[in-house]
Amino acid sequence: MLSLKNLTKNYDDFAAVSNLSLEVRPGELFGFLGPNGAGKTTTIKMISGLLRPTEGTVEIGGHDILTDPLGAKAVLGLVPDSPVLYKKLSGREFVRFVAELYSVDKQTTEKRIKDLLDLLGMAENADDLIETYSHGMRQKTAIMAALVHDPGVVVLDEPTVGLDPRSARVAKDVLRALCDRGKTVFMSTHILEIAERMCDRVGIINKGELVAVGAIAELRAGDEGGKTSLEDIFLELTGGPEQEEIIKFLDS
């Protein structure tokens, strides 16, 4: 459902993303991990068509994001790292507006909005203006807007940031349920525990290059140091001298 081939983004002599290739299958929850500045958000912007790659291709549901952007975006649900919401609309009005952009019929729209509001605990605040919402409430509104047209591929950049523990748990359950229905979820996160417990596979990017990809068990099996946690593997692959010293200290 989601295919990246030789995806590259250069800024003069700096490669933000370099020759990244991977496939995410239907029904798979894929975690995209990396330290700050590794290229995660740049990759997501290229997937969603917000940023044009220097080289390479992105296909979403068989549609090339550059040559068939409408076809690709019709099957894509996106939660960016900094969602842009219309603050003078209520949460319900904003999600309804997004549904209209995707030509979802009114009856289906209202049912989905009700279900999403109930699921994310937003029913009481649905008709308040977005400008009155907390950060977490705005994040939940962005998630509802990404899901209201029932996309085949959902891409999320740090989706649980700003959510309280209950809402974060609900969001994780929703993503897992989407995959159980055959949807594809591509999610970046800094919270390694979430990735380890939720994701079918993960990819680790560092300095713009994909340095590892596979199921957690596969990454553990390929780790010569015998590390048992994703955090240890992550630090081993992306850390500098300071992280290596920490690992040595913890292992001593």
The answer to whether residue 171 sits within a structural domain is: no
H or E element at residue 198: helix 192-198
DSSP label of 81: S
Give the total number of structural domains in the chain: 1
**pLDDT tens digits, one per residue of 56-68:** 999 999 999 999 9
Q: Residue 37 sits in which domain range? A: 1-75+156-165+183-252
Q: Within 13 Å, how many C-alpha atoms sit on residue 99's CB side?
A: 24
Confidence of residue 162 (pLDDT cuts 50, 70, 90): confident
**In-domain check, residue 17:** yes
What's the rounded mean pLDDT across residues 181-210? Answer: 91
Q: Is residue 145 a part of any domain in this protein? A: no
Distance CA 178, CA 88 (A): 30
Residue 148 has pLDDT above 90, yes or no: yes
Task: Give a yes or no: residue 34 inside a domain.
Answer: yes
The residue with greater pLDDT, 135 or 148, is 148
Residue 113 lies in a domain: no
Q: Could you tell me the CA-to-CA distances from 80 to 38, 67, 74, 227 in Å, in that order?
A: 16, 22, 16, 32
Instruction: Give 165's pLDDT tier (boundaries 50, 70, 90).
Output: confident
Cα separation of 177 and 157, whole Å? 18
Q: Is residue 18 included in any domain, yes or no?
A: yes
CATH of the domain at 224: 3.40.50.300
> Rounded CA gap, 7 and 252, in Å?
40
pLDDT band (50, 70, 90) for residue 190:
confident
pLDDT of residue 166: 82
Residue-wise pLDDT for 88-145, tens only, equals 999 999 999 999 999 999 999 999 999 999 988 899 999 999 999 998 899 999 999 9
- Answer yes or no: is pLDDT of 222 > 70: no
How far is it, in rounded angstroms, from Cα 48 to Cα 122?
A: 27
- pTM recorded for the entire structure: 0.88
Classify residue 89 by its DSSP letter. S
pLDDT band at 236 (very low <50, low <70, confident <90, very high): confident
pLDDT (0 to 100) of residue 172: 86
DSSP 107: H
The mean of the pLDDT values for the chain is 90
Instruction: Pick 195 or 45 by higher pLDDT.
Output: 45
Tell me, yes or no, whether 99 lies in a domain: no
Q: Which of 17-21, 22-26, 123-127, 166-170 has the lowest mean pLDDT?
A: 166-170
**Phi, psi at 134, each rounded to 5°:** -75, 170
